[in-house]
Copies of this chain bind each other. A is one copy, B any other.
Amino acid sequence: MTLPSSPRVVALSGGVGGARLLRGLARALPAESLTTVVNTGDDFQHWGLHIAPDVDTVMYTLAGLSHEERGWGLATETFTALEAMKLYGEDGWFALGDRDLATHMARTLGLARGETLTAVTDRLCRAVGVGARVLPMSDGRRATMIDTKEHGTLTFQTWFVRHRAVPAVERVWFDGDPGTTPQVLEALAAADLVVIGPSNPYVSVDPILTLAGVRDAVFAKPVVAVSPIVGGRAVKGPLATMIPQLARVPPSAAAVAAHYPGLRGIVVERGDAVPDVRTLETDTIMIDAAGSERLARAVLELGRAVS
């Protein structure tokens, strides 16, 4: 089987790393050929608002609005409301910008009116000019939970933002399985290739893959991944310390590949060897949109090779 020239691609994504690959895929593919399924295990309520950090990062990155260096929020942002909320004694540990706040308010209002998260995400993405389809992994609640020795069980955001991902992770689990959406299952059924972005396997990809029925639907298709581990280190985030804690092996691209049984291929940094799976070595650090596109084209090339 070979891929068509514009394969229908479904890409699984967490936040920054996955979003940057999506930016490249969006440049390499026609808009109608790209669907992304985004982790919502980090979603939480703050100031009475429904916040979907990975969905927002994907939306802002695809819209060209994201803050490049900081890795969250918007390039042009002010924090006027946040400062006043602190003055009023409200929680200020999650830095919500004024522009970003509108996203969470619009989402929360949409959900309150009975829209699904899928519908409201689609509406917000169109409003900011995103062409690719952005699908939350689920319309229901599934919270990524982190068991730590130091602080017991924490929600992902509490562990990641409040505790800066410092407490050692004993186990990652997911509270609730509301199932995925018909839109995700239809997109997977129609896909020529599934791409697992360079996201954290434990806290960004597993929340999606372990939803009832999703793993089978994903691995019914050719699946390639991009390693979030480069030369034994995580490009961003706590993954390099989580792999030894959770898989009892050193952090490596091979450890990432081994986490996905059935994977057909993996794109890794030059010099990162991965046994037992087709490997494409290239520059995997995406410092700008052109870098994202180069990596995306490598991913599609590997996808063609394994299909």
Contacts and interface: CB of A to CB of B under 8 A. Distances in A.
Given A87-B128, A88-B103, A108 B48 contact: yes
Contacts of A77: 80
B103 A78 contact: no
Contacts of A101: 81, 98, 101
A102 B87 CA distance: 9
A84 interface: yes
Contacts of A105: 47-48, 81, 85, 90
Contacts of A102: 80-85, 87-88, 90
> Is chain A's binding surface mostly helix, strand, loop or mixed?
helix
Contacts of A80: 77-78, 80, 97-99, 102
A103 B127 contact: no
Contact of A81 (B81, B90, B127): B81
Interface in A51-89: 77-78, 80-85, 87-89
A106 interface: yes
Interface string A117-145: 00000011001100000000000000000
Nearest to A112: B48
A160 B64 CA distance: 39
| Tier of interface size on chain A | 20 to 34
A62 B88 CA distance: 16
A211 to B, nearest CB: 28
Contacts of A106: 84-85, 88-90
A105 to B, nearest CB: 5
B88 A124 contact: yes
A101 B102 CA distance: 10
A62 to B, nearest CB: 16
A103 B123 CA distance: 28
A99 B81 contact: yes
Residue from A78, A101, A123 with most neighbouring chain B CB atoms (10 Å): A101
A101 B101 CA distance: 10
